[in-house]
Amino acid sequence: MLAQLKAYPSAAHERNAWILARRGPRNLLDPSRPYAFFVEDERAAGGEIVSTATLLLTNRECPWRCLMCDLWRNTLTESVPSGAIPKQIDYALQRLPEARQIKLYNSGSFFDPRAIPPGDYEAIAERIGLFERVIVECHPSLVGDACLRMRDLLPGRLEVAMGLETVHPEILPRLNKRMTLEGFAAAADFLRANGIDLRAFVLVQPPFMPEGDAIEWAVRSLEFAFDCGAGAATLIPTRGGNGAMEELAAAGDFSPPHLQTLEAAQERGVSLRRGRVFADLWGAETAPGCASCRANRIARIRRMNLEQIVAAPIVCSACAEVK
């Protein structure tokens, strides 16, 4: 049983307003450009290391108001005009080296019609037709026929990434994602039945999670994702930065996970041998943890991302931790 809520509303209908009231300003973005794009290596299901272009598309903000989400900072308040998303893809692909896979991440749901205009699907598919795999993200509630339309337009394989976040029965509802495990599983079934691959995002140490329980719940969440047919799962260390999380931190209801916690969760996840387990290293340089072994631990996590085997442990006399 979790402790009583201190700063955060216990009534679900009060949460959107509470979260919104704590927001800072969003960044000013150009709707004709993605706000970031890069190529990185990723291990594919078959074991090959595959170059992967990632485009962070500029588009309208996600309609959900998840407690831990700060992706709205790089979104627009209005829908982009028709043609803007294909233009963004052109802009990035003209500047990136060749890659075999592409991630089109839009800080929300690719299949939200107010985010990515469905009238642009053909133009998008034309531009990414040479990629072997196309990975988009989507809230489970928006997984449906639009996915099939996109699947049918692509010569390559479609993969949908969904945020499972956590299977903790008290914390998941508090995240204000308005998603149940049954809803996640139903969306996963739909994808599987229709030849679309699934990856899951799992939060490491979400708000309200006692630090000592974080690894165990991350592993249980990975197991659920793999039970649902995920071929890959990414562990995301929960971060502050949206106003709401800072207030929870001040009330003692949130602390970002140590780098060692992320590392241990990945190690346990990889040991399951049920699918690829990636650990998101964004912000790892400033995550809580020991300064003396940080670089070695980051390198170890990067190695486990690529090799999917438990790498040799790091021995550090400064923190006396052996992992």
Binding site for ligand SF4 (CB under 6 A): 62, 64-66, 69, 71, 107-108, 139, 163, 177
Q: Compare residues 23 and 33 and give the one whose CB is closer to ligand SF4.
A: 23
Secondary structure (3-state) at 171 = helix
Which of ligand SF4, Zn ion, none is residue 290 near (CB under 5 to 8 Å by kind)?
A: Zn ion
- Does 185 engage in binding with Zn ion (CB under 5 A)? no
Taking the complex as a whole, the smallest distance from the CB of residue 42 to ligand SF4 amounts, in Å, to: 21
Residue 267 host element (H or E): helix 259-272
Taking the complex as a whole, the smallest distance from the CB of residue 64 to ligand SF4 amounts, in Å, to: 4
Q: Compare residues 4 and 317 and give the one whose CB is closer to Zn ion.
A: 317
Which of Zn ion, ligand SF4, none is residue 177 near (CB under 5 to 8 Å by kind)?
A: ligand SF4
Q: Compare residues 62 and 245 and give the one whose CB is closer to ligand SF4.
A: 62
Cβ neighbourhood burial of 320 (10 Å; 0-12, 13-18, 19+): exposed
Distance CA 266, CA 161 (A): 18
Which of Zn ion, ligand SF4, none is residue 92 near (CB under 5 to 8 Å by kind)?
A: none
* Sign of CA pseudo-dihedral 263, 268, 270, 275: negative
- Does 293 engage in binding with Zn ion (CB under 5 A)? yes
Which of ligand SF4, Zn ion, none is residue 163 near (CB under 5 to 8 Å by kind)?
A: ligand SF4
Among 27, 82, 286, 292, interactor with Zn ion by CB under 5 A: 292
Structure tokens at 157: 């394989």
Taking the complex as a whole, the smallest distance from the CB of residue 236 to ligand SF4 amounts, in Å, to: 10
Among 39, 96, 153, 290, interactor with Zn ion by CB under 5 A: 290
Helix and strand numbers (H, E) in the chain are: 10, 10
Secondary structure (3-state) at 73 = helix
- How many CB atoms within 10 Å of residue 32? 15
**Chain-centroid distance, C-alpha 186:** 19
- How many CB atoms within 10 Å of residue 13? 7
- How many CB atoms within 10 Å of residue 94? 7
Binding site for Zn ion (CB under 5 A): 290, 292-293, 316, 318-319
